[in-house]
């Protein structure tokens, strides 16, 4: 198992952190420039986002236990929470996989990474590594995880092809990718959602499959009205 440790500078944080300098290929093209500006803001207010993310009115938070059950995790699994945000899914997964498993809480936001590291340290969570990733890579070693979990985050991938390629590399053979995102249906979905999410489910499925994944299931989650749950498996 790969355990790469670094520490946020000048912070009294014991939770392990992976960091890597951003390297962007000259020929890359953003699919939605500025989509992550809020999260890259050095003045980001984490408490404000906790109040947005960890509320029962948010579908994925309300359905968190059903989502966790649908992941079918078992003790000893290695998981990547891609776009971990405030970390509530990472905490749930770390409990399920147990001390023999390992979770990576991955985010591009330095402020979220700092919050995650402090939270895991305070809670004495010892099977999680916090990862400060790039906008075009999740920055994990090859074959290091069994599951990549992407919840309401894929539409924030500014360079989806490159990020998906990094996820594909990080997964073990037969590793799984779970993608939860918003249904985007013109004439049906909310105006905010239509403006915020760049494409619908079919486009996202096509992009993930083009990156070397096979769609194996679409699971029904109680309480989902605007979200969908897709499960893919890595192809060789």
Structure tokens belonging to residue 174? 């037969």
Helix (H, G, I), strand (E, B) or coil at 130: strand
Q: Is the pLDDT of residue 173 over 60?
A: yes
pLDDT of 7: 31
pLDDT of 236: 77
- Smallest CA-to-CA distance from 233 within 217, 213, 219 is with 213
Q: Is the pLDDT of residue 13 over 90?
A: no
- φ and ψ of 111, to 5 deg: -65, -40
- Residue indicated by tokens 């939270």: 119
pLDDT of 23: 41
Domain boundaries along the sequence of the chain: 32-234
Q: Is the pLDDT of residue 9 over 60?
A: no
| Range name among 2-16, 81-95, 111-125 with the lowest pLDDT average | 2-16
pLDDT of 11: 34
43: Cβ contacts below 8 Å, ≥ 6 apart: none
pLDDT tens digits, 122-166: 999 999 999 999 999 999 999 999 999 999 999 999 999 999 999
Contact status, residue 83 vs residue 181, Cβ threshold 8 Å = no
pLDDT band per the 50, 70, 90 thresholds, residue 12: very low
Helix (H, G, I), strand (E, B) or coil at 227: strand
Q: Crossing angle, helix 160-170 and helix 201-210, to 10 degrees?
A: 50
CATH number for the domain whose boundaries are 32-234: 3.40.50.150
pLDDT band per the 50, 70, 90 thresholds, residue 116: very high
Q: Which residues in 18-42 are b (16+ Cβ under 10 Å) and which e?
A: bbeeeeeeeeeeeeeeebbeebeee
Helix (H) / strand (E) element for 175: namely: strand 171-182
Distance CA(193)–CA(214), nearest Å, equals: 27
Q: Is the pLDDT of residue 18 over 60?
A: no
pLDDT of 28: 73
pLDDT tens digits, 174-208: 999 999 999 999 999 999 999 999 999 999 999 99
Structure tokens belonging to residue 146? 């069994």
Q: Is the pLDDT of residue 1 over 70?
A: no
Q: Is the pLDDT of residue 3 over 70?
A: no
Helix (H) / strand (E) element for 160: namely: helix 160-170
What is the mean pLDDT of the segment spanning 79-94? 98
Q: Is the pLDDT of residue 5 over 50?
A: no
Structure tokens belonging to residue 70? 């649908």
- Residue indicated by tokens 């990549």: 148
Contact status, residue 223 vs residue 62, Cβ threshold 8 Å = yes
């Amino acid at each position: 198992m790969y355990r790469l440790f670094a520490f946020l500078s000048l912070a009294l944080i014991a939770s392990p952190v992976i960091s890597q300098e951003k390297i962007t290929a000259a020929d890359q093209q953003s699919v939605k420039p500025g989509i992550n500006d809020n999260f890259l803001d050095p003045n980001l207010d984490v408490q404000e986002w906790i109040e947005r993310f960890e509320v029962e009115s948010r579908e994925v938070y309300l359905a968190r236990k059903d989502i966790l059950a649908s992941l079918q995790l078992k003790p000893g699994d290695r998981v990547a929470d891609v776009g971990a945000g405030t970390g509530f899914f990472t905490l749930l997964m770390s409990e399920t996989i147990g001390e023999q498993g390992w979770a990576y809480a991955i985010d591009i936001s330095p402020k979220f990474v700092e919050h995650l590291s402090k939270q895991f340290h305070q809670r004495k969570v010892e099977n999680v590594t916090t990862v400060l990733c790039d906008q075009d890579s999740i920055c994990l070693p090859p074959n290091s995880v069994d599951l990549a979990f992407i919840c309401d985050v894929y539409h924030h991938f500014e360079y989806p092809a490159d990020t998906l390629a990094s996820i594909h590399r990080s997964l073990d053979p037969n590793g799984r990718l779970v993608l939860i995102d918003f249904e985007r249906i013109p004439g049906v979905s909310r105006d905010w959602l239509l403006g915020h999410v760049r494409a619908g489910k079919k486009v996202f499925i096509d992009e993930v499959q083009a990156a070397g994944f096979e769609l194996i299931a679409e699971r029904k989650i109680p309480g989902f009205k605007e979200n969908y749950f897709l499960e893919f498996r890595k192809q060789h």
